[in-house]
Amino acid sequence: MAELSTLARPYAKAAFAHAQQSSDLAGWSVALATAAAVSQIEKVGELLDNPQLTSEVRAEKFLAVCGDDFDAPKQNFIKLLAENHRLPLLPEISALFEELKAEAEATLEVEVISARALSSEQAQSLTQALSKKFSREVHLHSAVDESLLGGAIIRAGDTVIDGTVRGRLAKLAEAMNS
C-alpha cells in the first residue's frame, strides 16, 4: 500500500491552491485541523469504516460532527474525500497543508526542548538566530525535559540540532572511537 503522505499530498495541494486563490489560508487551516481532529474520534472512525453507509451519508454525518464552520468549498472538499474513501487521511492532509502554508508564508515552527525553562531573553535570542539561519520567520515553542542534563534539542522541520550534554558526549565518544 502507498504511503499515507503519497495519498494525501494531492488533496493537500488542491486544498492549498484553492485556499491561496481565495485568500483564505487561515480558514482552511482551521477547517482541516478541525476535520483531522474529528476523524481521530473513535466513534467517527467506526462511522468511516461502516461499509453499509454510502459516501454521501458518511460526508453528511462527518460534516454534522464538524459543525457549521465549513462553507461550501470546504464541505465539497469533505464530500470529495468521502467519495474517494480518503476521510481517514485528514490528519496527514492537514499536516501537509500546514507545511505548504508555512513555506508560502516563509515561517517555520521550531520546537525547543531544554533542561530548564528558557528565559524570555534566551527565547528571543534563539528566535533571532534561527530566523537568520533559516531565512524565515520563526515561531518558537519551548518545552522542558528535566531528564536532560543540560543544553537543548532544537527541531525545525526536518532539522534536529542536539545541543544537549548527553548528545555532545556521544559525539565526543564517537570521534574518539573513530
Q: Nine-digit cell at 116?
A: 530548564
Residues 11 and 96 in one domain: yes
Answer whether 0.85 is exceeded by the pTM: no
With cut-offs at 50, 70 and 90, classify the pLDDT of residue 1. Answer: very low
- Condensed to tens digits (0 to 9), the pLDDT of residues 120-174 reads 999 999 999 999 988 888 889 999 998 888 888 999 877 888 888 888 888 888 8
| 48 neighbors 39 (Cβ within 8 angstroms) | yes
- Condensed to tens digits (0 to 9), the pLDDT of residues 9-55 reads 999 999 999 999 999 999 999 999 999 999 999 988 888 888 888 88
Instruction: Provide the residue range defining the domain that includes 171.
Output: 106-177
The single-letter code of the amino acid at 128 is Q
CA distance 97 to 114: 29
Residues 94 and 10 in one domain: yes
Number of structural domains in the chain: 2
CA distance 115 to 132: 24
Please give the helix or strand (H or E) that residue 159 lies within, else none.
strand 159-162
Residues 94 and 110 in one domain: no
Neighbour order of strands in the sheet with 137-144:
137-144, 107-114, 152-156, 159-162
